[in-house]
Amino acid sequence: MTRPTRPHRFKRLDAFEVSGGEAKVQGEESIDVPTLAVLELLAQDSPPDRFHELLQRGQRQRLSPDRLADLQRATHLALDVQASVSQRRRRETFMTGLVDTVHDMAGPSSPDTLLKVVTSRARRLLGFDMAYVSLRDADDNAYIHSSDGDTTALNAGLVVRKQRGLSELVRTSGAPFWTTDYLNDDRIPHWDDVDEVVRAESLSAIMAVPILRGSDPIGVLYGANRVVRHFTPDEISVMRSLADFASVALEKAELLDRTRREIAELEALGAQSRTTVTRLQRLADAQSRLSSLVLDGSDLQQLASAAAQALDGGLVVSDAYGRILTSAGETAGVPDPVTDRVVLETHAVGGPVALAADLWATPVGAGGENLGIVLLRTPVELDADTQRFFRFVGQAVAMLLVIQRSTAVAAGPVRDEFFDELLAVPLRAPHRLVARAQRLQVHLEEAYVVVAIRPEGSDHGKAVVWASSYSHRHQGLKTVRDGRIVLLLPGSDASAAARAVHNELSPSLALSVTVGAAGPATGLASVARVHNEAQRCLDTLAILGEAGTAASMADLGFLGLLLSDDRDVDGFVASAIGPLLDHDTERGADLVGTVEAYFASGHSPTRAAETLYIHANTVARRLDRITELLGPGWQKGQRAVEMQLALRLVRARDVLRQQRETTALGNRPDTQSEG
């Protein structure tokens, strides 16, 4: 059974028809025409004013109340549909913007970059004139971190104190807050600095949304317009989503930064570990090298040089009395001499001790005996491993000194016997002595000096032990004759050798020591002669009342000339008045004659001028020149005596030379025939 269909009702509308979305008056009315016109406007997504225009035209055509009501309802429904579609489109736009924001934040970026993305996206997505983010600082104040759309430089970096501004309202409530007119809103705790920025930027409507981490607000996301604006729930919801994204992005960025820092720390720790291993390996190799140097019989200088190179600093080795035995590397700034207090303090610590910011010391000892210390100058602070190596350096030096002393004691009798044979007069079997010298590595073909020592006390045994070690360290020889210690040492400066022996031995014995020296000489045959001169020098010091001092034959002046076997007259004259003789020879002057007249006149320049038949001012100028050549003090004391003796020797030598020349001339055949 079929249901009967209801016939359609059409009424003619004389004044209305639809054409191109516009209604026109034409004949009878039809109920479907206005509705179609509304649908056509809706299909064309026409603006709302076109719908209102259609309704107004229908009212002007005097439609029946039913049709006019239908037209009004159709128009309202169309506007509702259009609003719904517009809202849906906005939401789609918001969702697309949020997805793009998440995409922009997905990559590894810094917090600064991520917050700039959030502010820029909020401004473009919600149509703000300005968007910015504030964060909390260490004092719990808010400061503007990132800003987009600002026209002045007042906003960036602005610090807002607690209990001021929108940030305080959002922080305490944990919920969004917005206002259509910021400056005139009494709900907000205003602050002059913030109000000044709002005025400068001409802001009116502002929305503030908290950036939460858990339930704790860590910042605020702001959106602002320069006109009055009422914010919709959708806009507030989008801002909350952006704030949540900012929170997650900040947490991710902080986690990424923390991970990067941890990775960097691990890499640094790994590099430091590798550096430590390399340094330990280098120190271990250096320690093995030092041990090899000690066992191979190297000298103290070689050991100090190797240690200084390993420690990359300047090294100084001193004995128990502070005297420097050797040094290596850059030692500027190392104490010289080393004080007894430093030596005692270092041994009291028993290991490396920092004397200053760049100066370290370690003890040198064996079996409780204080052998000295090692000083290290380095610009870097020593770590524990380097301190342990530095302590080993002190132990290596101690081992070397003990080995040298033991070697000297063991080889002492053989070398002493050889030295005694060299002092015999006449020499027995010189060729055999030459062979023994080669076996003992004594190079008598080179210059050497002889040093005679007499301790002024009863501690003679300790002085002999010291002399054995000293001669061994300097590749020399030692013997004891008639209660005196005799050393044969390589070198050409007898005075320097005497002072060095005196300066080292006297503090060791804590007694005065008299030291006489002679030389230099070369060859086996000269040893006995130089030894006799050193003995005479030692005796002369005692006769002169100079016990406890050190001198050589050259230091004794004319006494040395008289006591010396070779009587080096030329050397004595040169040391006394050599500069004057050279000056007179080069300039044709008579400084020697002026000095003679000056001494002969009793040190009177006036009487000397009369003797020389020259003006007194000339004598004064010559005396000034003599002082420049010889130095001050030549007119007094022993120097004056030596100069007068040298002048007499020169005059005597000139007279003897003239006599020899006259005698030779008289013996010529032609001269004799003429006679």
Residue 47, Ramachandran bin (φ over 0: left; ψ between -120 and 50: alpha; else beta): beta
Instruction: Give the residues across from 488 on adjacent strands.
Output: 450, 477
Of the candidate ranges 99-108, 143-152, 300-309, 620-629, the one whose mean pLDDT is the lowest: 99-108
What the block records as the tokens of 485 is 């210690």
Instruction: Give the residues across from 365 on adjacent strands.
Output: 370
Interval 442-448 mean pLDDT: 84
End-to-end CA gap in the chain: 197
Interval 583-602 mean pLDDT: 83
Instruction: Give the residues across from 13 on adjacent strands.
Output: 28
Question: How sure is the predictor about 205, in pLDDT bands with cuts at 50, 70 and 90?
Answer: very high
Query: Does 252 score more than 70 pLDDT?
Result: yes
pLDDT, tens digit, for every residue of 297-350? 778 888 888 888 888 888 888 877 677 788 888 877 666 656 767 777 788 888
**What is the C-alpha separation between 504 and 321, in angstroms, rounded?**
9
Cα 333 off chain centre by: 17
Query: Does 359 score more than 90 pLDDT?
Result: no
**What is the C-alpha separation between 259 and 250, in angstroms, rounded?**
14
SS3 at position 93: helix
Contact, 388 vs 323, CB < 8 A? Answer: no
Of the candidate ranges 16-20, 245-249, 270-274, 395-399, the one whose mean pLDDT is the lowest: 16-20
Interval 190-219 mean pLDDT: 87
Would you state the pLDDT for residue 20? 39
Query: Does 486 score more than 50 pLDDT?
Result: yes
Would you state the pLDDT for residue 240? 85
Would you state the pLDDT for residue 351? 84
Question: How sure is the predictor about 435, in pLDDT bands with cuts at 50, 70 and 90?
Answer: confident
Q: How many CA atoms lie within 13 A of 669 on its CB side?
A: 0
Question: How sure is the predictor about 17, in pLDDT bands with cuts at 50, 70 and 90?
Answer: very low
The owner of tokens 């109340």 is 65
Query: Who's near 160: CB < 8 A, 6+ residues apart?
Result: 134, 141, 142, 143, 144, 167, 168, 191, 193, 194
Helix (H) or strand (E) holding 490: strand 484-490
Closest CA to 396 of 289, 282, 290: 290
**What is the C-alpha separation between 588 and 598, in angstroms, rounded?**
19
Question: How sure is the predictor about 157, in pLDDT bands with cuts at 50, 70 and 90?
Answer: confident
Interval 373-402 mean pLDDT: 86
**What is the C-alpha separation between 603 and 598, in angstroms, rounded?**
5
Classify residue 555 by its DSSP letter: G
Would you state the pLDDT for residue 6? 39
Residue 519, Ramachandran bin (φ over 0: left; ψ between -120 and 50: alpha; else beta): left
Q: At what angle do helices 591-600 and 605-612 cross, to 10 degrees?
A: 120
What the block records as the tokens of 649 is 């020797």
Contact, 620 vs 604, CB < 8 A? Answer: no
Interval 188-215 mean pLDDT: 88
Can you give the three-state secondary structure of 432-451, one letter per residue?
HHHHHHHHCCCCCCCCEEEE
Of the candidate ranges 42-46, 224-228, 390-394, the one whose mean pLDDT is the lowest: 42-46
Would you state the pLDDT for residue 572? 66
**What is the C-alpha separation between 108 and 191, in angstroms, rounded?**
37
| CB neighbourhood size of 189 (10 A) | 13
Would you state the pLDDT for residue 11? 37
Average pLDDT, the chain: 78
Of the candidate ranges 55-69, 221-235, 317-331, 557-571, the one whose mean pLDDT is the lowest: 557-571
Q: Which residue has the higher pLDDT, 559 or 653?
A: 653
Closest CA to 622 of 649, 583, 586: 583
**What is the C-alpha separation between 411 and 436, in angstroms, rounded?**
13
Say whether pTM exceeds 0.75.
no
The owner of tokens 């291993």 is 277
Interval 254-258 mean pLDDT: 81
Q: Which of 224-228, 366-370, 473-477, 651-655 has the highest mean pLDDT?
A: 224-228
Question: How sure is the predictor about 151, in pLDDT bands with cuts at 50, 70 and 90?
Answer: confident
Question: How sure is the predictor about 21, in pLDDT bands with cuts at 50, 70 and 90?
Answer: very low
Beta strand ranges found along 113-240 (DSSP E): 130-136, 142-148, 159-160, 177-179, 205-213, 216-225
Of the candidate ranges 188-197, 330-339, 533-542, 564-573, the one whose mean pLDDT is the lowest: 564-573
The fraction of the chain above a pLDDT of 70, given in percent, is: 82
Question: How sure is the predictor about 224, in pLDDT bands with cuts at 50, 70 and 90?
Answer: very high
Would you state the pLDDT for residue 659? 57
Would you state the pLDDT for residue 451? 92
The fraction of the chain above a pLDDT of 90, given in percent, is: 4
Interval 657-667 mean pLDDT: 58
The owner of tokens 């299909």 is 43
Would you state the pLDDT for residue 671? 45
